[in-house]
Amino acid sequence: MSEPVEVPGLPGLLTPEQVVATARSITRTQEPDGAIPWSPGAHTDVWNHVEAAMGALVGGEVATAEAAYDWCARWQRPDGSWPMRIVQGVVDDASGETNMCAYLAVGLWHHWRLRRDLAYVERLWPVVRRGLDYVVGLQLPFGGIAWSQEWDGDQPGRVNEQALVAGSSSIYQALRAGVALAALVGEQQPDWELAGGRLGHALREHADLFLDKRSFAMDWYYPVLGGAVRGQAGLDLVAGRWDDFVVPGLGIRCVDTNPWVTGAETCELVLSLDCLDDRDRALRLLADMQHLRNEDGGYWTGYVYEDEVVWPREETTYTAAAVVLAVDALSRTTPGSGIMRGEDLAPHFEEIALECGCAEGASADVLAR
């Protein structure tokens, strides 16, 4: 087993001890079976559950993270999907959401980077493989990934044949993590690489073919965070709606029409800015959202600034995890700190077998890091 990894901190912002306290707020919320819900008694979804496990691991909570990943293995369905919402061991929404079903690949690669436990990777690899096979099987003709599939009783049903920018961007990162894991265990996955090339092209060149969710901050920055858009194109993308979402001194709006800043989205923008080497604004935003921190190390979800009130009155594990991952990224502390920058993932995918009529080959400027 590997030696303990140093816990990150940022001088003048958060100490390693404060980061440990935040990671422990995730552990306090974990249920006996390993599930990490949004908050005590709330629902669990696989994406936020995995993100929480990643944050816990960075903060030294190894048992929490591994119990969370083992939970993923137990709850995966035969087709490779997971239910969208599980509440204290009971399925609340059986639909399969593709970005959720892909994200374990990112979590397991992150675990490998920090723990170097090949036996653990090999044990969970079949779970990752089934999940990504399921996701790739729902790729749409233009390259985006269908965002969900309904379930009819105990069988998969109708596919919602529309794609989301944020979800597909997250899947792009998951495919790069999956291909890296495949190389590690010696099981190449060329279908994932082909799907990744088509998906990256769609995100860069055909944003108009995705569902219009431009009111949401995630729809704005996720092509950068997921890695499909970088370099000057990423800087231009962020600049285009900066004033619509950023509230100086507080963080960023979740929705451009609402006076509500949220910690998780703010930290994801921090991570996106770090991917673009925009360190100054990343540090400023991470500092801005610290008004959501509690004395026990947890974080409130958001703040309605017109009413000067925290809302909802809940600490969320995904917010805590996003803070920890942002601190690690900016401090360059753990071996997994570059996972959002993509520096330790599989290379960007070639754009081949395109069906949209565009010339093949990705722009080097778009993918520059």
- pLDDT value of residue 153: 84
> Is 234's pLDDT higher than 80?
yes
Q: Which residue has the tokens 């722009």?
A: 363
| Per-residue pLDDT band at 1 (split at 50, 70, 90) | low
- As a dihedral over the C-alpha atoms of residue 21, residue 314, residue 241, residue 290, rounded to 10 degrees, the angle is -30
With a CB cutoff of 8 Å and minimum separation 6, the contacts of 40 are 29
At 273, list the tokens: 């800015």
DSSP state of 293: B
355 confidence band (pLDDT: 50, 70, 90): confident
Q: What is the pLDDT of residue 359?
A: 61
pLDDT at residue 3, as a whole number: 66
203, pLDDT greater than 50 = yes
Length of the chain: 369
The half-sphere exposure of 114 on its side-chain side, counting CA atoms within 13 A, is: 31
- What is the DSSP secondary structure assignment for residue 301, as one 8-state letter? S
The top-level CATH class assigned to 16-212+321-367 is mainly alpha
Confidence category of residue 369, pLDDT binned at 50, 70, 90: very low
Residue 10 DSSP one-character state: B
**Residue 119 burial (CB count, 10 A):** 7
- Please give the span between the terminal C-alpha atoms of the chain, in angstroms, as a whole number: 33
**299-337 pLDDT, tens digit each:** 999 999 999 999 999 999 999 999 999 999 999 999 999
Assess contact for 111 and 95: CB atoms under 8 A.
no
Mean pLDDT of the region 262-288: 98
Which residues neighbour 156 within 8 Å (Cβ) at sequence distance 6 or greater?
Answer: 79, 81, 96, 149, 150
Do you find a cis peptide bond into 248, omega within 30 degrees of 0? no
Is the predicted pLDDT of residue 255 greater than 90, yes or no?
Answer: yes
Task: Determine what percent of the chain is predicted with pLDDT higher than 70.
Answer: 96
Q: What is the pLDDT of residue 345?
A: 97
Supply the DSSP string of 308-361, one letter for each residue: TEESSS-B-HHHHHHHHHHHHHHHT-STTTTTTTTTTSPPPPP--S-SSSPPSS
Cα–Cα dist 23/52, whole Å = 9
With beta carbons less than 8 A apart as the criterion, state whether 318 and 52 touch. yes
Give the separation between CA 80 and CA 131, rounded to whole angstroms: 4
pLDDT band at 352 (very low <50, low <70, confident <90, very high): confident
The enclosing H or E element of 220 equals helix 217-225
pLDDT of residue 156: 94
**Quick one: average pLDDT of 225-233?**
98
> What pLDDT is attached to residue 351?
87
Q: pLDDT per residue over 64-84, tens digit each?
A: 999 999 999 999 999 999 999
DSSP letters along 181-206, please? Answer: HHHHHT---HHHHHHHHHHHHHHHH-
Average pLDDT over residues 280-303: 98
CA distance 161 to 159: 6
pLDDT tens per residue, range 91-126: 999 999 999 999 999 999 999 999 999 999 999 999
